[in-house]
């Protein structure tokens, strides 16, 4: 895609995304997930949503890519292959139920989408070196919200 991946814009480019661009990208990704979960003939869970799998076109419209770990939902599998094989994902983005061997589900994608949103608006990867000894990206943002420092996080 002409503007590369969201990963590049969040962590590698000297240019930055505006708040409006970030919101538009968030809406684009949410729309893609809604389509996969609700409007496909056979609903699909992406299972590996992360900034490097969100591609940006000429107009900075986000497109979700890399369906290598995607699974059919609800037993729908037109190819006849099992869709509940052991899931793998990217460290920091894996939904808790996936880590315990759970089946692919829309809720897992929703969790992963939440992590993506936190990364988009904090600029911190869920695997950042600062996240040690029980501190996670979600806990970092939660503590900032309740501590009154949310603007410093963003």
Residue 119 domain-assigned (yes or no): yes
**Closest by CA position to 10, among listed 112, 108, 123:** 123
Residue 57 domain-assigned (yes or no): yes
Residue 100 domain-assigned (yes or no): yes
Give the pLDDT confidence score for residue 75 in this predicted structure.
Answer: 65
Active site residues: 48
Residue 72 phi/psi, 5° resolution?
Answer: -75, 145
Domain that holds residue 12: 6-123
* Tens of pLDDT, residues 14-36: 788 999 999 999 999 999 999 99
Count of domains for the chain: 1
Residue 143 domain-assigned (yes or no): no
Kindly state the tokens that stand for 92: 């920091």
Residue 48 domain-assigned (yes or no): yes
With 60 as the cut, is the pLDDT of residue 77 above it? no
């Amino acid at each position: 895609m002409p503007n590369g991946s969201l990963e590049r814009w969040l962590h590698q480019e000297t240019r930055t995304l505006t708040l409006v661009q970030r919101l538009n990208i968030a809406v684009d990704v949410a729309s893609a997930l809604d389509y996969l979960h609700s409007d496909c003939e056979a609903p699909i869970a992406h299972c590996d949503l992360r900034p490097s799998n969100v591609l940006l076109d000429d107009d900075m419209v986000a497109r979700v890519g890399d369906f290598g770990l995607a699974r059919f939902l609800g037993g729908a599998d037109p190819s006849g292959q099992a869709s509940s094989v052991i899931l793998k994902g990217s460290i920091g983005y894996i939904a808790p139920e996936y880590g315990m061997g759970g089946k692919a589900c829309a809720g897992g994608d929703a969790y992963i989408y939440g992590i993506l949103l936190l990364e988009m608006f904090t600029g911190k990867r869920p695997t950042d070196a600062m996240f040690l000894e029980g501190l996670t990206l979600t806990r970092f943002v939660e503590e900032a919200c309740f501590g009154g420092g949310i603007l410093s996080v963003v």
